[in-house]
């Protein structure tokens, strides 16, 4: 494995092994221990699109492990605005850094960059394509809560059409035999080509517009934000988006161990009353972005994570 | 007899390339694929919609004084994967060639997805479509991984 462009670059064994590395790195991610495994290494952060969590968590992950980070900075003031090709930008950053984390508005940009680069590329989102580092932190969060990735029933809700997070995650969950329920308005359904692809891989997939009626079956409810601008007018948005909001009172019949996740930022789709419930996991999930990315940075840079860290067991 | 008659609809060529068993109606696309549609330097004869035992109907192209190379002919895989090709020298068949689809179509067409990174034609890496199935022909862009619509793809020749 050179870089991580889609989840297909990882076998199930790779995934388990990276999640296990991440588990051991937790005290380092929390700042309880300093473990400079990546001292002397430089990460190039190339975000051609706005990002808060992904960019910051890559930066935190690198620094917690003693490494350093250089940033592309604002695209509006970089050479990109002068018409530089992605190929040329990558040639430059490839020479400055040991590994690159990248987000780009065009689909396929990460694969393109990997073909152009000597150093590994971590895809932090390419158009509506893939977002595998988000998937790894999502899988870490699910495994942390349920002790397994296998055979779970997972509802993915909201904007399934444009959300690259749910595309990558669906493919990964199917590899672990999870049952998927896609709950979305008609306009924002999971793209047909993805549903067909998942079914060809033997997935048990149900498509529905009913989120609340299916909650009691779920082990995981993965919420996403529905954006106003996807709809022709505000009334239509209000009517549709209302059906994809969670309130604490909707969770009365949920399984006790069911968890609610969200890639954040949220707007109205999860009411603050849910935050204090036993089901809420979205803030832990955001923190897990650091530890999952620490494990991935080590793996792609060929640095082994010690079997024992700070007296903790492997 | 019918096949022989078809071949004589245009005169035999002395030297060059004959492409036979092109699906009926696809000959113009084949010329486009071979970059011959605007080429005025060599004589090209076209026979369209003639009867064929094997295919019902077919097209034939004869290109004089030019031996098409294997890599040029491989471009035909998109519209005429089963065509048969003969290199003619001194009125006789000197070589027979087949279209080789291979695992990838490289630098022949551009991905049809409007938001693919390869839409910027200034990007220098090759356009690559992976063959994921041969029957029916199914292609996916190496970069964005989108499945390609073959009817649309033919308009994206490079």
Model confidence band, residue A6 (pLDDT cutoffs 50, 70, 90):
very high
Asked about A278 being catalytic, the answer comes back as no
Predicted local confidence at residue B4, as pLDDT? 61
The domain of A24 spans 7-131+286-300
Whether B125 and A105 lie within 8 Å, measured CB to CB: no
**Lowest mean pLDDT: which of A142-151, A253-262, B18-27?**
B18-27
> Most A CBs within 10 Å: which of B107, B117, B124, B133, as the mutation test of the A interface?
B117
Instruction: Report the percent of chain A where pLDDT is more than 70.
Output: 97
A150 with A273, same domain: the answer is: yes
Asked about A54 being catalytic, the answer comes back as yes
Predicted local confidence at residue B3, as pLDDT? 60
Predicted local confidence at residue A314, as pLDDT? 43
Q: Is residue A313 part of a domain?
A: no
pLDDT at A117 > cutoff 80: yes
CATH classification at residue A44: 3.40.50.1370
Q: Which tops the pLDDT comparison, A82 or A34?
A: A34
Give the CATH fold of the B104-156 domain: SH3 type barrels. (2.30.30)
Q: Is residue A202 part of a domain?
A: yes
A140 with A106, same domain: the answer is: no
Give the CATH fold of the B2-98 domain: Alpha-Beta Plaits (3.30.70)
Asked about A201 being catalytic, the answer comes back as no
CB contacts, 8 Å: B129 with chain A: none
| DSSP states along B27-40 | HHHHHHHTT-TT--
A110 with A188, same domain: the answer is: no
Q: Is residue A311 part of a domain?
A: no
In chain B, the largest separation of any two C-alpha atoms, in whole Å, equals: 52
A52 with A169, same domain: the answer is: no
Mean of pLDDT values over B36-54: 86
Mean of pLDDT values over A162-182: 94
Nearest-angstrom CA–CA distance, A36 and A62: 9
Nearest-angstrom CA–CA distance, B51 and A197: 40
Mean pLDDT of chain A: 93
Per domain, the residue ranges of chain B are 2-98, 104-156
Model confidence band, residue B1 (pLDDT cutoffs 50, 70, 90):
low
A120 with A227, same domain: the answer is: no
Whether B122 and A85 lie within 8 Å, measured CB to CB: yes
The 10s digit of each residue's pLDDT in B65-118 is 999 888 788 788 888 888 999 999 999 999 999 887 789 988 888 999 999 999
Residue pair B80/B22 in contact (Cβ under 8 Å)? The answer is yes
Whether B115 and A107 lie within 8 Å, measured CB to CB: yes
The 10s digit of each residue's pLDDT in A235-289 is 888 878 878 999 999 999 999 999 999 999 998 899 999 999 999 999 999 999 9
Residue pair A130/A168 in contact (Cβ under 8 Å)? The answer is yes
A139 with A215, same domain: the answer is: yes
pLDDT at A26 > cutoff 50: yes
A147 with A277, same domain: the answer is: yes
pLDDT at A210 > cutoff 70: yes
Distance between B106 CA and the closest CA of chain A, angstroms: 14
Q: Is residue A101 part of a domain?
A: yes
Q: Indicate the pTM of the whole model.
A: 0.87
Q: Of B125, B142, B144, which has the smallest distance from its Cβ to A116's Cβ? A: B125
Whether A108 and B116 lie within 8 Å, measured CB to CB: yes
pLDDT at A40 > cutoff 90: yes
Asked about A53 being catalytic, the answer comes back as yes
Q: Is residue A2 part of a domain?
A: no
Distance between B115 CA and the closest CA of chain A, angstroms: 5
A194 with A290, same domain: the answer is: no
pLDDT at A175 > cutoff 70: yes
The strand order across the sheet containing B16-23 reads B44-52, B56-64, B16-23, B84-89, B92-98
A170 with A86, same domain: the answer is: no
Instruction: Report the percent of chain A where pLDDT is more than 90.
Output: 82
pLDDT at B8 > cutoff 70: no
Predicted local confidence at residue B6, as pLDDT? 60
Q: Is residue A95 part of a domain?
A: yes
Whether A112 and B125 lie within 8 Å, measured CB to CB: yes
A50 with A102, same domain: the answer is: yes
The residue annotated as part of the active site, out of A55, A131, A281, A299, is A131
The total of structural domains in chain A comes to 2
Predicted local confidence at residue B9, as pLDDT? 66
Model confidence band, residue A313 (pLDDT cutoffs 50, 70, 90):
very low
Asked about A82 being catalytic, the answer comes back as yes
Predicted local confidence at residue A166, as pLDDT? 94
Whether A115 and B124 lie within 8 Å, measured CB to CB: no
A126 with A265, same domain: the answer is: no
Q: Of A85, A108, A111, which has the smallest distance from its Cβ to B124's Cβ? A: A85
Across the A:B interface, residue pairs with CB atoms under 8 Å apart total 60
A109 with A167, same domain: the answer is: no
Whether A106 and B117 lie within 8 Å, measured CB to CB: yes
Predicted local confidence at residue A55, as pLDDT? 93
């Amino acid at each position: 494995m050179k870089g991580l462009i889609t989840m297909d670059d990882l076998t199930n064994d790779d995934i388990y092994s990276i999640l296990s590395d991440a588990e051991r790195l937790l005290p380092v991610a929390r700042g309880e221990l300093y473990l400079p495994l990546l001292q002397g290494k430089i990460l190039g952060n190339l975000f051609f699109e706005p990002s808060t969590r992904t960019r910051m968590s890559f930066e935190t992950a690198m620094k917690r492990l003693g490494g350093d980070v250089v940033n592309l900075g604002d695209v509006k003031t970089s050479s990109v605005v002068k018409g530089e090709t992605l190929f040329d930008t990558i040639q430059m950053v490839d020479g400055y850094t040991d590994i690159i984390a990248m987000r780009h508005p065009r689909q396929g940009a990460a694969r393109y960059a990997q073909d152009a680069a000597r150093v590994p590329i971590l895809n932090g989102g390419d158009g509506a394509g893939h977002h595998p580092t988000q998937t790894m932190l999502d899988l870490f969060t699910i495994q942390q809560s349920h002790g397994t990735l296998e055979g779970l029933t997972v509802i993915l809700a909201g904007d399934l059409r444009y959300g690259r997070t749910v595309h990558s995650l669906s493919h990964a969950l199917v590899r672990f035999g999870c049952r998927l329920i896609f709950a979305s308005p008609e306009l924002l359904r999971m793209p047909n080509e993805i549903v067909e692809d998942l079914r060809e891989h033997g997935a048990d997939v149900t498509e529905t517009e009913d989120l609340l009626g299916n909650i009691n079956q779920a082990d995981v409810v993965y919420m996403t934000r529905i954006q106003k601008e996807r709809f022709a007018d505000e009334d239509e948005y209000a009517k549709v988006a209302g059906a994809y909001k969670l309130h604490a009172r909707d969770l009365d019949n949920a399984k006790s161990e069911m968890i609610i996740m969200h890639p954040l930022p949220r707007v109205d789709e999860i009411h603050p009353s849910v935050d204090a419930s036993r089901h809420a996991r979205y803030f832990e999930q955001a923190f897990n972005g650091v530890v999952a990315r620490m494990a991935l940075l080590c793996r792609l840079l060929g640095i082994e994570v010690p079997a024992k860290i700070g007296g903790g067991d492997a | 007899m019918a096949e022989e008659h078809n071949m004589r609809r245009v005169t035999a060529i002395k030297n060059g390339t004959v492409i036979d068993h092109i699906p009926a109606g696809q000959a113009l696309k084949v010329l486009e694929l071979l970059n011959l549609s605007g080429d005025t330097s060599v004589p090209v004869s076209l026979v369209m919609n003639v009867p064929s035992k094997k295919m019902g109907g077919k097209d034939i192209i004869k290109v004089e004084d030019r031996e098409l190379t294997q890599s040029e002919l491989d471009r035909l895989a998109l519209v005429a994967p089963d065509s048969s090709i003969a290199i003619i020298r001194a009125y006789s068949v000197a070589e027979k060639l087949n279209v080789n689809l291979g695992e990838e179509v490289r630098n022949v067409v551009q991905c049809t997805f409007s938001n693919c990174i390869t839409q910027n034609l200034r990007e220098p890496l090759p356009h690559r479509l992976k063959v994921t199935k041969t029957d029916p022909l199914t292609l996916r862009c190496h970069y964005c991984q989108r499945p390609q619509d073959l009817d649309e793809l033919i308009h994206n020749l490079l």
